[in-house]
Amino acid sequence: MRVLLVEDDATLADGILRFLEQEGYRAHWAASGEEADRRLGEEAFDLLVLDIGLPGRDGFEVLRRLRSQPGRTLPVLILTARDAVEDRVRGLDLGADDYMVKPFALPELGARLRALGRRRQQEQNLAIRHGPLLLDTAAHRAWLRGEPLELTVREWAVLGVLLSRTGQVVSKEQIIRAITPLEGELSANAVEVYVSRLRTKLEPAGIRIRTVRGFGYVLEEHRP
């Protein structure tokens, strides 16, 4: 799992990074809030360990900006010298998943990160990502390029079938068989309508559903 450590104390950061690597993580370091924002926007991480007292943009602002982005459920552990109750409350209210106060024991940090990692893996089993498209299958919510995407029940069902077979030809009959038990009778013409609606919503973001005449549809692999 990839961990981003945001900590301005280079000596402390070096010790934590060494520990994380010994624990089997791929650990990366950002020394400021601005650098953390940039890396979070450009790279994918599984866990974030975040100090509050950072030069420039503080950790609270980094957390606020992260949580303001739809679909960003990255687990965040705040690791800070601030032990006031109001700081703990503010961090948790902004969306932190855990809060540890310095000084701390490295084995406890490892245990807390393992717990967050298990939760992350469980959440990922309920999420489907396809390029800029993110589907939360538990909450039945979708985002495209970070913005909420409105889908009808039938559109959601058709898209789910295509996503489960990305890069493969899916016939209208396969779509009908997959959806009919959930939503009653569905005709081949209706499938064409729902695919057309999905194209209208998805193609501006570079997600293409291609028709293979005489066979069905292919949701193509996303290539940025």
Q: Where are the domains of the chain?
A: 2-125, 128-219
| Band of residue 42 on the pLDDT scale cut at 50, 70, 90 | confident
As a whole number of Å, the CA-based R_g of the chain is: 22
Give yes or no for residue 61 having a pLDDT over 60. Answer: yes
Task: Give CA 46 to chain center in angstroms.
Answer: 9
No. of H helices and E strands in the chain? Answer: 8, 12
The CATH fold assigned to 2-125 is Rossmann fold (3.40.50)
pLDDT of res. 89: 94
Q: Is residue 135 within a helix (H) or strand (E), and if so which, with residue range?
A: strand 133-136
Per DSSP bridges, beta strands 98-101 and 76-80 are parallel
Strand, coil or helix: what is 56? coil
Q: What is the DSSP letter of 126?
A: T
Distance CA 135, CA 150 (A): 11
Q: Which tens digit of pLDDT belongs to each residue from 99-154?
A: 999 999 999 999 999 999 887 776 655 678 888 998 887 677 888 988 889 999 88
- Please state the pTM of the whole predicted model: 0.58
Burial class (CB in 10 A: 0-12, 13-18, 19+), 28: middle
Q: Which tens digit of pLDDT belongs to each residue from 154-202?
A: 898 899 889 888 888 999 988 887 776 544 567 888 899 999 999 999 9
- CATH code of 128-219, in short, is 1.10.10.10
Distance CA 59, CA 94 (A): 11
Question: Which residues lie below 8 Å from residue 27, measured CB to CB, with a gap of 6+?
Answer: 2, 3, 5, 16, 17, 20, 21
Residues linked to residue 47 through DSSP beta bridges, in sequence order = 3
- Our CA angle for 101, 102, 105, nearest 5°, is 100
In sequence order, which ranges of the chain are alpha helices (DSSP H)? Answer: 10-22, 33-42, 59-67, 85-93, 106-124, 153-163, 172-183, 188-202
The first and second tokens of residue 198, run together, are: 């999905």
